[in-house]
Amino acid sequence: MPETHPRVIVVGGGLAGLAACVRIAEAGTPVDLFSMVPVKRSHSVCAQGGINACNDVARQQGYSEWQHMDETLIGGDFLNHQPPVYEMAHFAPKIINLLDRMGVPFNRTSEGMRDLRLFGGSLFKRTHFAGASTGQQLLYALDEQTRRYEAQGKVNKYEFWEFLWPVTDEEGRCKGIIAQDMRTMEMKAFRADAVVMASGGNGLIYGKSTMSVICNGAAAARCYQAGADLGNPEMIQVHPTAIPGEDKCRLMSESARGEGGRVWVPRQQNDDRHPLDIPEEERNYFLEEKYPGYGNLVPRDIATREIFWVCQEGYGVGGENQVYLDITHLPQATKNKLAAILEIYEKFTGDDPREVPMKIFPAVHYTMGGLYTTYAPYDPETDTITPASAPKREPNQGMAFGDPKNMMTNVSGLYAFGESNYAYHGATRLGANALLSCIFDGLFNGLSVANHAQQSGAGAHGTPAAELPQSLYDKFLKQEQDKLAKITASTGSQDPYTIHRELGVEMTAAATVVKEEGRMLQAREKLAELRERYTDLKISDTGHYTNQNVSFARALGDMLVYADALLEASLARKESRGSHYRSDYPERMDEEFHNTSRVAFNAESGRPDITWEPIPSPLVPLRARTYGKTDVVEDKKTQEQEAAAS
Partner 1 sequence: MIAPNPSEKTFLVRIKRQDAESQPAYWQEFEVPVKPAQNIISVLQYIAANPTTTSGEDVEPVVWDSGCLEEVCGACTMVVDGQVRQSCSCLANEQLAKTGKDHIELEPMTKFPVVRDLFVDRQRMFDNLKKVKAWVPIDGTHDLGPGPKETPEQQEERYAYSRCMTCGCCLEACPQFTKDNTFVGAQAIAQALYFNQHETGKKLKGERLDELSGPGGVADCGNSQNCVKVCPKEIPLTQAIAKVGRQLTVHAVKNFFSAK
Ligand X SMILES: Cc1cc2nc3c(=O)[nH]c(=O)nc-3n(C[C@H](O)[C@H](O)[C@H](O)COP(=O)(O)OP(=O)(O)OC[C@H]3O[C@@H](n4cnc5c(N)ncnc54)[C@H](O)[C@@H]3O)c2cc1C
Q: Which stretch binds ligand X (CB under 6 A): 8-16, 53-61, 522-530, 612-620?
A: 8-16
Strands (E), 368-421: 370-371, 414-416
First to last CA, the chain: 41
Nearest approach, Cβ of residue 248 and partner 1 (Å): 5
Out of 6, 8, 13, 576, point to the residue binding ligand X (CB under 6 A). 13
DSSP code of residue 248: -
Of the listed 7, 114, 262, 300, which one is catalytic? 300
Nearest approach, Cβ of residue 324 and ligand X (Å): 22
Residue 28 burial (10 A CB sphere; 0-12, 13-18, 19+): exposed
Nearest approach, Cβ of residue 46 and ligand X (Å): 4
Name all contacts of 181-187 with Cβ < 8 Å and 24+ positions apart: 182/36, 182/546, 182/548, 182/551, 183/545, 183/546, 184/545, 184/546, 185/544, 185/545, 185/546, 185/547, 187/477, 187/480, 187/481, 187/484
Strand partners, 238: 364
Site map for ligand X, 435-474, x if CB under 6 A?
A: x--x------------------------------------
List the single partner that 443 binds among partner 1, ligand X, none, CB under 5 to 8 Å by kind: partner 1
CB burial of 441-468 (b: ≥16 within 10 Å; e: otherwise) equals bbbbbbbbbbbbbbbbbeeebbbbbeeb
545 lies in the site for partner 1, by CB under 8 A: yes
Closer to partner 1 by CB, 40 or 582: give it: 40
Q: Compute the residue count for the chain.
A: 646
Out of 285, 291, 348, 612, point to the residue binding partner 1 (CB under 8 A). 348
Closest CA to 633 of 345, 185, 340, 298: 298
DSSP code of residue 535: T
Neighbours of 236 (CB within 10 A): 26
Nearest approach, Cβ of residue 232 and partner 1 (Å): 27
Q: Yes or no: say if 239 and 210 are a contact pair by the CB < 8 Å rule.
A: yes
Closer to ligand X by CB, 399 or 432: give it: 432
Binding residues for ligand X, rule CB under 6 A, total 45
List the single partner that 219 binds among partner 1, ligand X, none, CB under 5 to 8 Å by kind: ligand X
Closer to partner 1 by CB, 349 or 479: give it: 349
**484 Ramachandran zone, left/alpha/beta (phi>0; psi -120 to 50):** alpha
212 lies in the site for partner 1, by CB under 8 A: yes
Active site residue 300: yes
Give kind and range of the element (H or E) at residue 311: helix 300-312
Q: Yes or no: say if 35 and 17 are a contact pair by the CB < 8 Å rule.
A: yes
Residue ranges in 268-327 that form contacts with ligand X under rule CB under 6 A = none
Out of 218, 297, 323, 399, point to the residue binding ligand X (CB under 6 A). 218
273 lies in the site for partner 1, by CB under 8 A: no
Neighbours of 561 (CB within 10 A): 23
CA gyration radius, the chain: 24
Q: Cα 250 to chain center, whole Å?
A: 16
211 lies in the site for ligand X, by CB under 6 A: yes
111 lies in the site for partner 1, by CB under 8 A: yes
Nearest approach, Cβ of residue 640 and ligand X (Å): 16
Q: Considering Cα of 217, then 223, then 226, then 231, what sign does the dihedral take?
A: negative
Nearest approach, Cβ of residue 341 and partner 1 (Å): 12
Could you give phi then psi for residue 601, rounded to 5 degrees?
A: -85, 125
574 lies in the site for partner 1, by CB under 8 A: no
Q: Which stretch binds partner 1 (CB under 8 A): 137-145, 195-203, 474-482, 528-536?
A: 137-145
d(CA 373, CA 367): 15
> By the criterion CB under 6 A, which residues form the site for ligand X?
11-17, 34-37, 39, 42-44, 46-51, 134-135, 162-163, 198-200, 210-211, 214-215, 218-219, 251, 365-366, 418-419, 432-435, 438, 646
> By the criterion CB under 8 A, which residues form the site for partner 1?
22-23, 26, 37-38, 40-43, 45-46, 94, 96-98, 100-103, 105-114, 130-131, 133, 136-137, 140-141, 144-145, 147-148, 150-151, 183, 212-214, 245-248, 250, 344, 347-351, 443, 495, 497-498, 540-543, 545-546, 548-549
- The residues assigned a catalytic role are 300
